[in-house]
Amino acid sequence: GAVVSQHPSWVICKSGTSVKIECRSLDFQATTMFWYRQFPKQSLMLMATSNEGSKATYEQGVEKDKFLINHASLTLSTLTVTSAHPEDSSFYICSAPRASGGETQYFGPGTRLLVL
């Protein structure tokens, strides 16, 4: 099956700093990637859709200046949490459909962010 990786798997940072999370499709090209956030005992909440070569599309209530998304190539999307605060601590997960417009998505293993 398709493989999606994330880096780092775990990050701890001080309040006010910025953190970058990478999402890579390892054996396929992804024109679209999705970023989710998961709180403890909660479902995955879609944050934004990352589009290669164009601006990301953010879900309602997600601050685009807070969560910067860059989809610089067909295999890499990055999520930067800017000026992180403790309430940004969460589990961030990316996914990508193997084929453009495909319905089945392949998920990365997630990144645990802890902001002190």
Q: Which residues of this protein are in contact with other proteins, per CB under 8 A?
A: 1, 4, 6, 32, 34, 41-44, 46, 49, 57, 93, 95, 97, 100-110
Nearer to other proteins, 16 or 102 (CB): 102
CB of residue 42 to other proteins, shortest distance in Å? 6
Nearer to other proteins, 64 or 85 (CB): 64
Nearer to other proteins, 1 or 86 (CB): 1
Enumerate residues 6+ apart whose C-beta is below 8 A from 19. 11, 13, 80, 81, 84, 113
Q: Please, is 106 exposed, middle or buried when counting C-beta atoms within 10 Å of its C-beta (0-12, 13-18, 19+)? A: buried
Nearer to other proteins, 6 or 77 (CB): 6
Terminal Cα distance for the chain, rounded: 37
Pair 70, 55: CB distance under 8 Å: no
CB of residue 100 to other proteins, shortest distance in Å? 8
CA distances for 9 relative to 2, 6, 15, 21, 40, angstroms: 19, 7, 19, 9, 17
CB of residue 86 to other proteins, shortest distance in Å? 23
CB of residue 5 to other proteins, shortest distance in Å? 9
